Structure 1
Amino acid sequence: MLALPIIGVSAADLTLRSAELSPEQSLTRMIGAADARVNASYMSGAINQSPDGTASAPVGGYKDYDPSKSPREKPAPVEAALPPGAQVLKDSGGYAKVRTTHGLLDTHLRELDTHSPLVKGMITLDRGRLPESSGEVIATRAFLGDSGLFVGSSVTPRGATSPYKIVGAYELPDELERPEIIAPPGTLIAPLNKAVSESGGRAVSPDDTYLVKVGGAGVTWDAVKAANAKGLLVISRAVILDPPADSEVPLYRDEPKAMFERDGNKVVETAILATVAGLAMLEICLLAGPAFAVGARRSRRQLGLVGANGGDRRHIRSIVLSGGLVLGAVAAVTGTVIGVLLTVLLRPVLEETLGNRFGGFDFRPLELAGIALLAVITGLLAAIVPAVTASRQTVLASLTGRRGIRKANRVLPVLGLIAIAVGAAIALYGTTSQLGSTVVAGGSALAELGIVALTPVLVGLFGRLGRWLPLSPRLALRDAVRNRGRTAPAVAAVLAAVAGTVAVATYEQSNDVQMRQEYRADLPHGTGLLAANENGAYKEVPALREALGKQLPLAQRADIERLVVGKPSCESFSSDPGCGRVEVITPKEQRCPLYEDSKEDDAFPVEQRKELRQDWRCKESRHGTQHSVLVGDEKVLSVLAVTDPGSVAALKAGQAISFDKRQVKDGKLTLRVITDPGENDIMRGRYDETPGEDKVLPVHQAPDSVEGWGVELILPPSAAKAAGLATAPVGSYFSLDGIPTSEQRQKLDGEIDRMGVEASLRIEKGYEGDNSLVMLALAIFAGIVTIGAAGIATGLAQADAEADLKTLAAVGAAPRVRRTLSGFQCGVVALMGVVLGSVAGILPAVGLRLTEQRAAEALHQESIEQGFMAVTEAVPFVPISVPWETLGGLLVVVPLGAALLAALVTRSSGALARRAAG
């Protein structure tokens, strides 16, 4: 009981300390033997960065930064920002699909000279050899495991003209689960991009960084700032190991340092760890205390002899406390040794679980000693009450075995009531305080301790129910009440476990109800969308549709196409020559004024913004697919559950259907064919000023009550053809005749993989909460703790009441009475703990939900006042829902299971004691 938590805590301490790398170890894994890693910033122009290179911002901060007005310039060559003679090694990588034995796997493709000494420490070769020529690669163990390939196999990225031979396996010490392959520079990404460009596929967008070795003092902070002025971001070994003062960091002058801090949650994590440690100590004391009490009671004759031979109360207390001290010391040594050995033996498993290799075992003797001291202190604390109780026994009572009569403690219940009142008041105050959940948690913990203090009194109140119970449960309840020193701690331990479970379950249930209310379906229930994610895969769309109808129980299928300008393989946001776009042009007077001004929201007073956000022109658009303008027939309306007769009739008659009235004026809509969209227009999503050919089409405006499911405009094929617009297939909407099975989904996914097409399949099933598993896990956890605590209490009761059980056998009680009595003793303890824990667990959950409600209401009110969103005056929906099913399981199943288990493991008869000599 004392050693188990020490095993867990000492193992966790050694594991976390070993997984926590030193700055030098982290740098070795990040930049190898180089002095720095340099890459171009994603922002245009000069930047300022943090010393560790994890954060950056444009010079002057983000306040006046406008990327649309600062066209991205090609970054300066890395060599231009470095001292003459610097050694530079390019490290280039990007993601692509790779063909495997199972289908396709999203893999990081990397080009790096693995023979360079600068790479030392970045990768660890596991088996095989490093690649030496074109056509050879090495792969991570994670890639080999996921792909089903092995060293010696051939691997082919999708779109490549020839395979690559895997000549070795390696691992990334900090990313063990990353699927990656490495090839010599210039032999993988560039040939792949050339091949896919010729076939109309998607090219890999490489992310280029450079390992730099300059020698001497390395890359200094002044050199880093000089590189920042040229738009380069630098991770420097010298700067990280000896960082400059905050006053020398320009980034912290433009933006507050707290904005870039990564350790903002350390205080919260420390509080959580302290709370867990405190609860662990409380649970151990509550369960170990009765064990010491029973041990002292069974040794009362020896303690009485100590008193008869001149020992006083101080000596008796010392004897019992010494027992707790010795047991705590033994548990400390045993638990620490076992915890360390387990960590050493399970190191590979722990590393795989954490996803990174240890830098080495980092033993902290002082921390391990502190953890061991925790067991000693806990054992000593658990023995205090039994020691005081034993010292108060008279010598005569100890020698004769009489228990005497002890008056109930009247101070403890009063303190418990005060703690409950104060804790509840603090928790309720926390719902309105800025500290929020921290205050609620503290108040709830105080109230729970108050209930623990009241447990002896509450156990006595439960005893009054015995008059209406049969013999065995009455005896069990009477025994529990008469031995509150043993019963109350066990009940309190069950209470603590159940209270935490009920609190989390209530919070999760309430959050689930809120999420269900806020859920917005993408499609009508029971319908779906299969679409190719790559425009270059348009030739494979017919095969996708055929596979869809073959594998799923379709009720109806509606094929859709998209509008294209130029090559059908052009990407949606491409600015390449020959790739154009077709965009809906909203009439100027029907555009939202908030988005027309170059400064957007800041150009309007608060009250005007608030009014404009409620304007129909500023209604938030909803996009269900990557193409808001689709080409299809009336089947699309049928699948999307659009039953408006006018819309259906108009589409059948060859007229376009609009679901956004902002785009329609006088029954007409304008489509602009843009053959050369500018990069800035693509970034801003604005095409009203981009030159192009306008196509004015008559359209039918669907009523506002009709849901378009993210589609803004549906063009019938005849209208698109009449307007001279080219189309390309993109996928299909479909409705299902029944819910598809997991086997059907897997077969369809397998067919898509075998085609080598990147496609998305979405089926609307409605809101699917995932906390049912959480509820089940919580209930099982509470049940195990409850049965364990109740079992310990029952075992102690049997040990303590062995004389009574023998007396029952002596007077002719049936053998099953012993078994039944044990079962009811265990069930009574479990039931009392579950009932009290269920009541105690509601308070923190309610407090946390009220805190969230207050925060949501404050944000809602601020949004209304600032006009930041189109909100209504309705109060945000933050419900409090009690998980009655979980509570029912705890209240009925757990005590019943505890009682049955105790009855099954109890012997029906015990040996009769011999009568002592007179």
Structure 2
Amino acid sequence: MSAVLVALRLARRNAWRSRGRSALIMVMIGLPVLVITAMLTLAATMSVSPREGLVAELGAADALLMQAPEGTVLRQEPNGTSWSGGGEGATVPRRAAAEVGALLGPGSRLIPFDAGVLQLGSERVEALRTDLRDPLTKGMRTLSEGRLPAAAREVAVTSAFGLRPGDLLRPSGAAPLTVVGVVEHPNRPSLRQVVGPDLPLASVNEFWSPRENGTGWLADTAEPVSWTRVSALNSAGLYVTSRAMMTDPRSRARDSGFDVQSTVGIGTMVIMVVLVTVLLAGPAFAVGLRRRRRELAEIAAQGGSAAHLRTIVVADGLLLGGAATFVATVLGIGAGTLGAPIMARWGGQVGPPEVPWPPVLAVAALGLLTGIVAALVPAVQAARQNSAAVLAGRTPAVADRPGWPLAGAALVLAGLGATVVARRQPGSVWVLASAVLVLLGLVVLTPWLVRCTGRLAGRLRLPLRMSVRDAVRHRSRTASAVAAVMAVTATVVAVGIGTYSEYMDQRNAYTSARPTGMLAIWAGNIGDPAWSRLRAEAARQLPGVPLAAGYQVKDAKGHRYALRYTVRWNGTRTRRTAAVGDQTLLRLLQGRHDPQAAAALASGKAVVFDPAALRDGKLALRASSTSGPARKLDVPAVLATPADEHQGGALLPRALVEQAGFATAERQLYAMYRPSANSTLARDLAKVTPRVTVASEEGYRNMPDPAPGLWRWLGGALVLVVGGTLAATRLAAADMRPERATMVAIGAPPRMSRAVVAGQALYISGLGALVGLLAGTVTGLALTRPMTTRGAGDPATIAIPWPFLVAVVIGLPVLASAAALITRARLPLARRLL
């Protein structure tokens, strides 16, 4: 035990003596720990459990009861909730509060609590219709400015609106609302919500959701509303959320069981983090070993055993790894805790500060283990060094192990075979796990690759020749740096190819039933007079713009129907709604006049733009409605060419639809017109009727560009590659000090010495980048299949981001070499042994 304490004391003194190198090692070990700890803490803090969100949902009430649409079958259980059936929520009559109070028992008190949306021009925002002054709503929303609404037409808004007391809100089809207060949601600072006792909530045509829309009540009950009373309330059409249910242990989420893919993914990530960190920190530990060779040789000469020397070097990793892990863990917890409220203001939710100690401590242990593992190879080298040769000032020769290249080749072949099998599996985690085998095999092969490439040194100019020969002579130091660069480059190249291929696949998968630049105006269930006013207003707002009419489909009972068909587009099953119109709309959809398509439409045939949707000259349609029975239709159709490459869809003539037993009514307008960014068209049309939707087709430009993400990956690779290369170059400069001193003594200019050092950086980063390119390309091509395919018959999309790869494979070595040129070249004369 005393030997360990002495080793730690020596490690502390050595770390303080070489503060720059110690800081570099701590950054390399601590940075992954800091990032992962911050992400874990951030995720835990931003995850709000049902108990943590109880006040925001219930306030001080005992229960919240939301009325389900008429005909809905509700069934709530501790392990989940299900409901089925029901019609449109807007047509459901409100249940009387007295009836609900009778179900809850004597002594119950209820206040209205309605959730929905408020139509503000073309924007829909969340809204609550309740009285925030009532004690039952205490804590549900916190007043930060002004006062709580008390009278009709008074509202409070959340701070995300940016409004102040005294401002006005103008809902569509209703009188203006006066903002009298600003409130905060306890867990969602980015929420845009309006709260008031008398809000004109807009009708919601979407599926009913008990937490998003519907009428209900907050209840103060004499007895807790437990699970034993839920069945009776569900039978009455009431969805229940109660304090007693939330605090019941049975309501906690059940463990989903062992997930093989998640476990493999976590294991792969851990191996990659440890591998890259060890390879990057290894040269820095080797620098310390080179500087301490004489000290260790003196300890061995005075009776120190090989175990003592190993303990001394491993103590460096234990001390620096432990210090880096401790500092990184503290900083990561602080960053995650402080960053959660900031991230929540951009979107999401935030709860009380929470640290997931088991995974955080596991990450800390991983960081400590990384420091120890990074020091193991230098420790073994220290135990095997020739003390006599070191004390005499001679550099010990490095002996190769003949079995290592065979082992590395076996690992690479096994990894390639596993990659071929993994690319056929769902999910990309298996490909990444197979890539780890390839990388481990290449790491083992790196010393052999360094020795083989060293045979080309004789054909190089003097500075590069000296650099390459020195790198080959010190293969243990060079191989670690080359392997680190290789691992980082392979990871970045694989991610780049996979991400860019996925982007191109999504871009190619983009499809629309309308050409780019088309404006669509759709009306809901309104009468003919309201439609006439809306059409006139649209023509006034768009002077000189030709408008093509589209038609709404209804059955004899007035139920609205949608005529849809399903087609596979770029491997994805896509459901389209067929439009109903005449030749004017056909000309807009095709971007030109097509005599054959126009003749087919006039003869009563459908015009289809999806070749895969046609079967024997027929188009299979499904007529579906939210309130009527579904029907299947097979209509005659012809194929035509659309205006855009990514456009699909179908156009049906009115006569064909009416022959199928449906009625048509003009309720849609189409035009080739692109509104400006500050256009008020949607707001102006909503003044005529709130049941209007305005949409403009913008094309695939809405797809997110992967370039920012790829360049961020390049930035991370730049830090790792340049940092690891400079650490190895610094070691090389220290090892080559006698040679460089001799060069200075015989009159070599300083630029020659700098060129030798830069040659080391170019060799290390260039060889690592080249091998990493090969490994990353194999993995990236394998990733394209699980990332871009959606079925057995869907081919993979392969896209290569050439500028990104050039920047990684060529730009990074050039930058590393340029950074190495800054190395100080002037050295004093050194004593040489003859």
TM-score category by the smaller chain?
A: 0.7 to 0.9
Post-superposition shift, 1:497?
1.8
1:16-38 residue CA offsets vs partner (Å, 9 max, x unmatched): 33334455323233222223222
Tell me which residue corresponds to 1:539: 533
1:623 aligns with 2:577: yes
Alignment check: 8 A CA contact 2:555 2:561 kept: no
1:160 aligns with 2:203: no
Alignment check: 8 A CA contact 1:303 1:398 kept: no
Alignment check: 8 A CA contact 2:226 2:245 kept: yes
**What does residue range 537-616 of structure 1 map to in structure 2 within 5 Å?**
539-541=533-535, 544=538, 558-563=546-551
**What does residue range 841-880 of structure 1 map to in structure 2 within 5 Å?**
841-850=776-785, 856-857=791-792, 875-880=793-798
Q: 1:81 to 1:441 in 2, by over 3 A?
A: farther
Tell me which residue corresponds to 2:157: 139
1:538-577 residue CA offsets vs partner (Å, 9 max, x unmatched): 6355555565579xxxxxx54123457xxxxxxx7899x9
Post-superposition shift, 1:111?
0.8
Q: Which amino acid in 1 is paired with 2:342?
A: V
Tell me which residue corresponds to 1:352: 345
Q: 1:380 aligns with which of 372, 380, 393?
A: 372
1:518-545 residue CA offsets vs partner (Å, 9 max, x unmatched): 4445345x55234245565763555555
Q: Which amino acid in 2 is paired with 1:112?
A: T
**What does residue range 407-426 of structure 1 map to in structure 2 within 5 Å?**
407-426=399-418
1:819-839 residue CA offsets vs partner (Å, 9 max, x unmatched): 323333222222212211122
Q: Which runs of 5+ in 1 are unaligned?
A: 59-64, 194-204, 247-259, 551-556, 565-571, 585-590, 596-612, 662-676, 689-698, 858-874
Percent identity reads 28
Q: Which amino acid in 2 is paired with 1:408?
A: D
Q: Partners in 2 of 1:660 and 1:312 — Cα distance?
A: 85
Q: 1:215 to 1:479 in 2, by over 3 A?
A: farther
1:4 aligns with 2:21: no
What SS does the aligned partner of 2:395 have? Answer: coil
Alignment check: 8 A CA contact 2:404 2:445 kept: yes
Alignment check: 8 A CA contact 2:31 2:328 kept: yes
Q: Partners in 2 of 1:581 and 1:221 — Cα distance?
A: 39
Tell me which residue corresponds to 1:178: 191
Q: Partners in 1 of 2:231 and 2:588 — Cα distance?
A: 61
Alignment check: 8 A CA contact 2:58 2:137 kept: yes
Tell me which residue corresponds to 1:607: none
Alignment check: 8 A CA contact 2:513 2:576 kept: no
**What does residue range 65-214 of structure 1 map to in structure 2 within 5 Å?**
77-98=99-120, 105-144=123-162, 149-161=163-175, 163-184=176-197, 187-189=198-200, 207-214=214-221
Post-superposition shift, 1:329?
2.3
Alignment check: 8 A CA contact 2:42 2:337 kept: no
Q: 1:308 aligns with which of 296, 301, 304?
A: 301
Q: 1:537 to 1:752 in 2, by over 3 A?
A: farther
What SS does the aligned partner of 1:142 have? Answer: helix
Q: Partners in 1 of 2:148 and 2:555 — Cα distance?
A: 37
1:637 aligns with 2:587: yes
What SS does the aligned partner of 1:24 have? Answer: coil
Larger mean CA deviation between 510-519 and 809-818 belongs to: 510-519
Q: Which amino acid in 2 is paired with 1:275?
A: T
Tell me which residue corresponds to 1:498: 489
Q: Partners in 1 of 2:476 and 2:125 — Cα distance?
A: 62
**What does residue range 379-398 of structure 1 map to in structure 2 within 5 Å?**
379-398=371-390
1:608-648 residue CA offsets vs partner (Å, 9 max, x unmatched): xxxxx99xxxx998436xxx2235x6475266245432555
Q: Partners in 1 of 2:54 and 2:637 — Cα distance?
A: 60
Alignment check: 8 A CA contact 2:265 2:429 kept: no
Q: Which runs of 5+ in 2 are unaligned?
A: 1-27, 204-211, 610-622, 688-692
1:367-414 residue CA offsets vs partner (Å, 9 max, x unmatched): 655444333322211111101101211221221231221211233323
Tell me which residue corresponds to 1:906: 823
Alignment check: 8 A CA contact 1:561 1:727 kept: no
Alignment check: 8 A CA contact 1:423 1:447 kept: yes
Larger mean CA deviation between 292-301 and 129-138 belongs to: 129-138
Q: Partners in 2 of 1:802 and 1:788 — Cα distance?
A: 21
1:641-665 residue CA offsets vs partner (Å, 9 max, x unmatched): 45432555798xx98775379xxxx
Q: 1:459 to 1:211 in 2, by over 3 A?
A: farther
Tell me which residue corresponds to 1:482: 473
Post-superposition shift, 1:454?
1.2
Q: Partners in 2 of 1:583 and 1:452 — Cα distance?
A: 60
What SS does the aligned partner of 1:659 have? Answer: strand
Q: Which amino acid in 2 is paired with 1:40?
A: Q
Q: 1:641 to 1:245 in 2, by over 3 A?
A: closer
Post-superposition shift, 1:283?
1.6
Q: Partners in 2 of 1:765 and 1:439 — Cα distance?
A: 31
Q: Partners in 2 of 1:854 and 1:638 — Cα distance?
A: 33
Tell me which residue corresponds to 2:6: none
Larger mean CA deviation between 219-228 and 26-35 belongs to: 26-35
TM-score relative to the length of structure 2: 0.80
Tell me which residue corresponds to 2:607: 659
Alignment check: 8 A CA contact 2:463 2:756 kept: yes
1:750-789 residue CA offsets vs partner (Å, 9 max, x unmatched): 5544665652111446896733444444444434432332
Tell me which residue corresponds to 1:199: none
Tell me which residue corresponds to 1:793: 728
Q: How many residues align?
A: 764
Q: Which amino acid in 2 is paired with 1:234?
A: V
Q: Which amino acid in 1 is paired with 2:330?
A: V
Tell me which residue corresponds to 2:455: 464
Q: Which amino acid in 1 is paired with 2:302?
A: N
Q: Partners in 1 of 2:423 and 2:386 — Cα distance?
A: 52
Q: Partners in 1 of 2:257 and 2:523 — Cα distance?
A: 38
Alignment check: 8 A CA contact 1:95 1:107 kept: yes
Alignment check: 8 A CA contact 1:519 1:767 kept: no
Q: Partners in 1 of 2:532 and 2:734 — Cα distance?
A: 78
1:330-389 residue CA offsets vs partner (Å, 9 max, x unmatched): 223322333344445545324435632332x33566665544433332221111110110
Q: 1:746 aligns with which of 673, 677, 680?
A: 677
Tell me which residue corresponds to 1:226: 232
Q: Which amino acid in 2 is paired with 1:95?
A: V
Post-superposition shift, 1:57?
4.1
**What does residue range 515-534 of structure 1 map to in structure 2 within 5 Å?**
515-524=506-515, 527-532=517-522
1:712 aligns with 2:651: yes
Post-superposition shift, 1:842?
3.1
Tell me which residue corresponds to 2:499: 508
Post-superposition shift, 1:171?
1.9
Alignment check: 8 A CA contact 1:41 1:231 kept: yes
Alignment check: 8 A CA contact 2:283 2:727 kept: no
RMSD of aligned Cα (Å): 4.5
Q: Partners in 1 of 2:179 and 2:270 — Cα distance?
A: 49
Q: Partners in 2 of 1:19 and 1:505 — Cα distance?
A: 29
